[in-house]
């Protein structure tokens, strides 16, 4: 099985101030994954949050869905140069998950079912900048797009928005994730075209 959805067609570049440099606008929603799509049953799904001191909290699916959720409309930007405007999601803010967590950590390592990881500065997950999303376009999130739940960090390239998310580890040190270890940029700002380590 390929890692890019069939039928994906690039679009011509447009002169739009909302489009980062080097990006193409698309109305498709391409599916790109580093491996096979995990099939995660809701009765076994868990999401965990671990602090730098080793303390942890976790939620099963029912407990997670009881948390306050928000509707989010954001633009997405993929490192493969496509952008999609006005995507509609529903999810739980990372701020909500961290509400009762006492931490001085500066970094986060996000892990997924299937073994994928990605790293981010903790400040890029807080103050209304990131969510654990469980719906897309008014429907439950399909597995190929990261369902039942994925991280959504729309101000960074999409590989930072880990699909099939299972946990966040708060850290004092920065540990590169899957794509970062393979040469992708450690931060991934689309406005600065931070695609690879040399960018």
**Mode of pairing for the β-strands spanning 46-50 and 117-121:** unpaired
Give CA separation, 20 vs 65, 131, 182, 197, in Å. 34, 22, 23, 18
What is the number of other CB atoms lying within 10 angstroms of the CB of residue 164?
A: 25
pLDDT digits (tens, 9 = 90+) for 15-42: 788 999 999 999 888 787 767 888 899 9
51, two tokens: 């602090």
Where exactly are the structural domains of the chain?
Answer: 24-30+45-192
70, two tokens: 């928000």
Contacts of 66 (CB under 8 A, 6+ apart): none
Separation CA 87–CA 154 (nearest Å)? 10
pLDDT digits (tens, 9 = 90+) for 44-88: 999 999 999 999 999 999 999 999 999 999 999 999 999 999 999
pLDDT at 8 over 50: no
CB 93 within 8 A of CB 130: yes
Per-residue pLDDT at 14: 61
Give the three-state DSSP class for 94. Answer: helix
**Domain 24-30+45-192 is classified in which CATH homologous superfamily?**
Oxidoreductase, molybdopterin-binding domain (3.90.420.10)
CB 130 within 8 A of CB 118: no
Per the listing, tokens 């940029």 go with: 185
């Amino acid at each position: 099985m390929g890692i890019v959805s069939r039928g994906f067609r690039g679009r011509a570049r447009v002169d739009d101030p909302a489009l980062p440099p080097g990006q193409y606008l698309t109305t498709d929603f391409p599916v790109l994954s580093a491996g096979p799509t995990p099939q995660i049953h809701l009765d076994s799904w868990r999401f965990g949050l671990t602090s730098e001191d080793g303390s942890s909290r976790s939620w099963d699916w029912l407990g997670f869905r009881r948390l306050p959720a928000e509707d989010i409309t954001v633009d997405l930007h993929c490192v493969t140069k496509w952008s999609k405007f006005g995507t509609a999601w529903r999810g739980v803010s990372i701020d909500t998950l961290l509400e009762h967590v006492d931490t001085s950590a500066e970094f986060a390592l996000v892990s997924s079912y299937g073994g994928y990881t990605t790293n981010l500065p903790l400040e890029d997950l807080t103050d209304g900048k990131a969510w654990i999303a469980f719906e897309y376009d008014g429907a439950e999130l399909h597995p190929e797009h990261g369902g039942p739940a994925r991280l959504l960090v729309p101000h960074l390239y999409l590989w930072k928005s880990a699909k099939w998310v299972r946990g966040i580890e708060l850290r004092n040190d920065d540990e590169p994730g899957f794509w970062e270890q393979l040469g992708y940029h450690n931060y991934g700002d689309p406005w600065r075209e931070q695609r690879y380590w040399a960018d």
